[in-house]
Amino acid sequence: MSQGFSIGQSDNGFFVRDTDGTRVSRVFRRESDAEQDLARLAARAERAHRTEHRPCLCCGRRFLSQGPFNRLCGECGSAGGPPELDRVTTTRARGRVGWGVSAHG
Ligand SMILES: [Zn+2]
């Protein structure tokens, strides 16, 4: 999916703008420099999009992940350290399975 960045032009040069037309880069004198920055911004946006939400390894709830290294939601992550198999099993046995699932509608 395209992030929709495009090159804009002003009196001072060229810049990258997003779908709203907002300038998201500095102004470059050369269009080719702006295009390079566009590629960089698009790659970063795509990466951010890909790592935006992940299911927590502990409770399974989707949360905003900081990246591939970040696999626990804030709740489980702050509960202390990496997840252990015991803890996952115990958590599930306590009947938290199914919470957060609303199939209505
Ligand atoms: Zn969790």
Residues 36, 12 share a domain: yes
Q: Does 102 reside within a domain?
A: no
Structure tokens at 39: 């590629």
**Residue 53, beta-bridge partner list:** 64
Number of domains present in the structure of the chain: 2
| 58 Cα: distance to centroid of ligand 1 (angstroms) | 5
Task: Look at residue 103 and tell me if it is in a domain.
Answer: no
Residues 14 and 44 in one domain: yes
Domain-embedded: residue 31: yes
The rounded Å distance from CA 90 to ligand 1 centre is 13
Per-residue pLDDT of the chain (105 residues; tens, 9 = 90+): 445 899 999 999 999 999 899 999 999 999 999 999 999 999 888 776 666 788 899 999 998 887 777 888 988 887 655 555 555 555 555 555 555 555 555
- Please tell me the distance from the alpha carbon of residue 88 to that of residue 105, in angstroms, as a whole number: 30
Enumerate the β-bridge partners of residue 14.
Answer: 9, 28
Same domain flag for 58 and 42? no
Tell me the C-alpha to C-alpha distance, in Å, between residue 53 and each of 28, 73, 75, 76. 34, 10, 15, 15
Return the structure tokens found at 3.
Answer: 């992030």
Contact call for residues 37 and 28 (beta carbons, < 8 A): yes
Q: Answer yes or no: is 40 within a domain.
A: yes
Q: How many Å lie between the centroid of ligand 1 and the Cα of residue 75?
A: 6
Give me ligand 1 centre to Cα 104, in Å. 23
Range of the domain at 14: 6-50
* pLDDT at res. 1: 43
In this prediction the pTM is: 0.47
Q: Give the pLDDT confidence score for residue 61 in this predicted structure.
A: 92
Listed in sequence order, the DSSP H helices in the chain are: 31-50, 74-78, 85-91
Considering the domain architecture, whether residues 11 and 44 belong to the same structural domain is answered as: yes
The pair of structure tokens assigned to 16 is 């990258």
